[in-house]
Amino acid sequence: METFQTIKEWVAEDRPREKMLERGSAALTNAELLAILINTGTKQRTAMDIAKEVLELGNQNLLQVANLGLSDLLRIKGMGEKKAWGLDLGGIASIWRGGCIIRARFLERITQVYRADPALPNLALAPYFRDVLNRAQQPWRQVVALAVGAGIPVPAFSASLAYYDSLRSARLPANLLQAQRDFFGAHTYERTDRPQGQFFHTNWPEVID
């Protein structure tokens, strides 16, 4: 069984912070850069363990990590609210921009947005990005519709459009999942015509009959 070691117990050349001081940020992996931003781990997990899981949640992409919401980060064991709120998302965007060949202009916008409001729950709510999405959504829909009609797969376009629509809509067919869960396992559901926090259960076989 492998013995757990804190980062402080690692040899100096393997510690992210010491490695950065000795060789510069270019020598670090994305996980090591994130571990420095996360700063501390827990009794069972190092900052590197947490950083690797954050990266996995962002598909190994620092830009996607920068756009993770608080609820996403809190799914990670060892990432409490205090640590999640303290994660410098603007800094992450800057790191990604510094190592990106394209160095796209909007990455600087991401940094500016999170510098101005570190507690922003979603990048799409920032005025600049909200306006960009509002202007772009009609041609975006047309591209997806044309591609689907032509039988051309555009998974990134279609999935991101679905995410955008779920983000901006208060009520969607996904709400029916509560009814389905109640039907199969009596998990109860809430109703839109009753105060939030009141739960109901239906004897579905009687309703169906």
pLDDT at residue 131, rounded to an integer: 93
Q: 165-177 burial, b for 16+ CB within 10 Å, e for fewer?
A: eeeeeeeeeeeee
Q: Encoding tokens for residue 66? A: 């920068």
35 and 65 co-located in one domain: yes
In a shared domain, residues 31 and 47? yes
Residue 11 structural domain: 7-118
Residues 199 and 151 in one domain: no
Structural domain ending residue among the three candidates 96, 118, 140: 118
**Residue 21 CA from chain centroid, whole number:** 29
Find the angle CA(49)-CA(86)-CA(12) to the nearest 5 degrees. Answer: 45
Residues of the chain with pLDDT under 70: 1-3, 25-26, 63, 80-107, 209
Q: What is the pLDDT of residue 102?
A: 47
Mark whether 84 and 155 lie in a shared domain. Answer: no
Per-residue confidence (pLDDT) for residue 86, from 0 to 100? 57
- Give the pLDDT confidence of 156-173 residue by residue, as tens digits: 999 999 989 988 887 888
